[in-house]
Every structure is written in structure tokens, then in C-alpha cells.
Homo-oligomer: A and B are copies of this chain.
Amino acid sequence: MESVRGEHIAVGTEILLGQILNGHAQAISRAFAEQGMFLYRHTAVGDNLERIVDALREASHRANVVIVTGGLGPTADDLTREAMAAHLDRRLIASETAEREIEAYFAGRGRPMPEENRKQALLIEGGIHLPNPNGTAPGQYVSADGVHYFLLPGPPLEMNPMLVHHVMPKLRALFPREQVLVSRTLHFCGIGESSVDEQIPHLLSGSNPTVAPLASEGEMMLRITAAAATVDAARQQIAPIEAELRSRFSPFIYGVDGDTLPVAVGRALTARGETLAAAESCTGGLLSSMITSVPGASAYFLGGCVAYANPVKERVLGVAAQTLQSHGAVSEATAIEMAHGVRELCGSTFGIATTGIAGPDGGTTDKPVGLVYVAIAGPDERRAFRLQLRGSREQIRLRAAKQLLWRLWRAVERSPQSP
């Protein structure tokens, strides 16, 4: 039984100039992965006949499914049809169906079809026309020498519906007994990728399910992927791997799949009917911004204070002048008083705080750039943590915020859940 070996080719000089992002590569990869199919390569080439033909020829040697996006417009720059005809050594033939469809598209807008759009109705000899209700560029499907080619228009609002309604059903029909591929992603914070990896070499070297580490800024993920005859069977293969990972790394696994730290924190607070307020110095609003990026955050996030200047720390958060004088703004004592102060100010269950040196300037030998204290004040206890972070100003701020959110998530999870 043959399985899909797919490739995507994006055509368009604007992609190679960096003027637009090649989002189709991601959209098509996702649609394939959901069906247990796989793209083995993405390519982007410019609006140049020879280079498009080269890309098609190379892909045809490796793949049995080639999806091409872009280059189907009406201008002299749009060369995908011509390149495909040259690659297969076939003629381009005017399609009456396609021509009527383009005329109807213009008629619906009260305009006659411009002569130059007639070019868009040219079909590769032996090809099948794929209707495009959202634009003037019809798609095409053509099969040659065991390779299935799909040509789709570049504008996302035209390409995406055609992918869903024409390409994926056709591929499911062409490759009927493909196994399903099911993935589950576990999100880690508070532990380094290498520390995780060195504990699970036996999982990382497995072939079905596979376990793949993915690094992200200040956190990491492990993706477990199983191939099986049914979704249920694949899930049963994933379950014991997930159970082993949870038994090893439970305190560090804050979520699965689409979760983020702010989502995990919000879910833990909501389950207990608890609320949160934030006091920020070095993160300067970033922490609150991450928390409030989650729709519905107003149910548990009351607000907070960006206390950049010391007088604001004193006046708004009630940090003692004595604390600032003897310990400094960047200190465990200040962090704890900030967290406590914002909790009192907003009347929340938990108060959290950051104070540190994000750089690039302002560091000293005692308190170097990257030194950040984060604190959590709850109903039962107040705790501060000392972090020494590396990287740019942006990285230090983001990593401090994530480290604090992870510790908050743990603190909330440990508190009793309301019935």
C-alpha cells in the first residue's frame, strides 16, 4: 500500500523578497498531518519559468503528491500553468468550464471579464479543473507518472477553502487506507531540554510512537506521535508514554496541546474560584499582558501595578522605604512586599511580583543584568525566588514572566480545589 510522500512548492517573488510570509506551507502541512499524511519538503521559488520547472522536476523525483500554490493569476508574471505544461511536456487547452466560471465571477460584480483573465482558463492537457468560488484563478489537478499535482491560487482566502473542499477529499480517495497519525504535546517549564532528554533516551529513540522535543523561549515541549489504524488505537499507544512522562516530570508539565502558561494559570484559578493581581517592575507590563491575552481573563485577573519607579513601589504598593533603602529595589524583600502589596491593593487571592535588571544597562557586580526576583503572596504564604537569567532584554523579561507563571501555576495547583 502506497503512502503519501507530499511536497509543497510556493511560487512568488514576493515570498523570496520577504514581503509576505509563506503561510500556505504551514496550512497545507497541518491539513496533511491531521490526515496522517506528511509533507517531506517545502520549497519557495520566484516568478521565473525555468526555476519553477526545476522545482517541479526535482519534486516529481521524490514525491507522489505535489501541491503548488501561487502563479495562477492573469499577469505576465503568473507562470505556474506554463511551467507545469513544460515540465510534463503537455499542451495548455482552454477550458470552457473554467472560462464560464471566471465570466460568472466578474458578472457577479457587474463587470465583463477582462481579456487578460482568459489566460486563467487554460488547463494542462489531461488535467481536471478545480472550482474557485472566491476568486478568478481556478485550480487544477493533473496526474502524471505516478505523481498527483494540485495547482492552487495564492491568495489565502481562495487557497484555503480549495484545500479543504477539493484537495484533501481527493487525497483521501487516492490513498484510502492511510494510517491515522495522532499527536499529543506536553508543555514543560522549569526544566531544561537537556535535563529532560537525558532521562528518557529510550523514549526519544522509539519509532512508533515517536517522542520529539521542541524548544521554545523559556519552556519546552515533548510531542508524542503515534500511527495506527484508528484514532482510538493511536491514543492507546500514546497513553502509556504520557503516563511515564507524567510520573517522571509531573511538577514541570503544566499543560497539553494548545495550552500556554497563562491558559494553565487561568484554568487553575478558575477551578478554585480564585483571583490574581500582578506587580511588575522589570517585566514592565509584559506579565499582565500575557495573562490578559487569554480571552475571559477578566474573570480571575483583577489588575495590578507597573511599579517602575521606586516612589510608585512605595506609594501604590506600600513597599517600605526602609526595605528599598537597606535591600534595594532588586531584592527578595522588595519582591515579597510588592506581591503582598498588590494582593492587598486589588483584594485578590494571589499577588505576584517581579523586580530585576533586564539590561542591557544597570547591572553591577553584586546585581548583574539578568538577576530577577519573583514572588508569590497567597492566603497562606509569601515566597520569593531568585533567578539569574541570560539573554537580551526581551529574553530576560519573557523568561522571568514565564518562570513566575510556572511557579504560580504550581502554587495554585497545590491549593485545595473548591467543590
Contacts and interface: CB of A to CB of B under 8 A. Distances in A.
Interface of A: 10, 13-23, 25-33, 38-47, 51, 55, 58, 73-77, 105, 108-110, 114-117, 133-135, 154-155, 157, 161, 183, 192-195, 197-198, 201, 204-205, 212-217, 223, 277-278, 280, 283-293, 295-298, 301-309, 311-312, 315-316, 345-347, 359-361, 370, 388-395, 397
27 contacts: A10-B42, A18-B25, A18-B26, A18-B29, A18-B32, A22-B26, A22-B42, A41-B44, A41-B55, A43-B43, A76-B205, A77-B204, A105-B390, A108-B370, A109-B389, A134-B390, A155-B217, A157-B392, A285-B289, A285-B290, A285-B304, A293-B394, A297-B308, A302-B312, A304-B305, A312-B346, A316-B346
Contacts of A283: 289, 292
Nearest to A111: B192
Contact of A40 (B16, B109, B286, B288): B16
B289 A134 contact: no
Contacts of A212: 13-14, 47, 77
Contacts of A280: 285, 288
A187 to B, nearest CB: 13
A366 to B, nearest CB: 15
Given A58-B58, A305-B303, A23 B21 contact: yes
**How many copies of the polypeptide does the oligomer hold?**
2
A32 B19 CA distance: 12
B306 A292 contact: yes
Contacts of A116: 194, 197-198
Contacts of A216: 155
A311 B345 CA distance: 10
A194 B113 CA distance: 10
Main DSSP-derived SS at the A contact region:
mixed
Contact of A194 (B117, B288, B290, B301): B117
Nearest to A393: B295
Nearest to A32: B18
Contacts of A13: 212
Nearest to A12: B214
A214 B14 contact: yes
Contacts of A297: 284, 308
A314 B223 CA distance: 46
Contacts of A30: 17-18
B42 A42 contact: yes
A183 B303 CA distance: 43
B302 A303 contact: no
Nearest to A216: B155
A179 to B, nearest CB: 15
A223 B197 CA distance: 46
B316 A309 contact: no
A195 B106 CA distance: 12
Nearest to A308: B303
A16 B41 contact: yes
A128 to B, nearest CB: 23
Contacts of A345: 312, 315-316
Contact of A161 (B42, B205, B308, B392): B392
Contacts of A213: 73, 75, 77
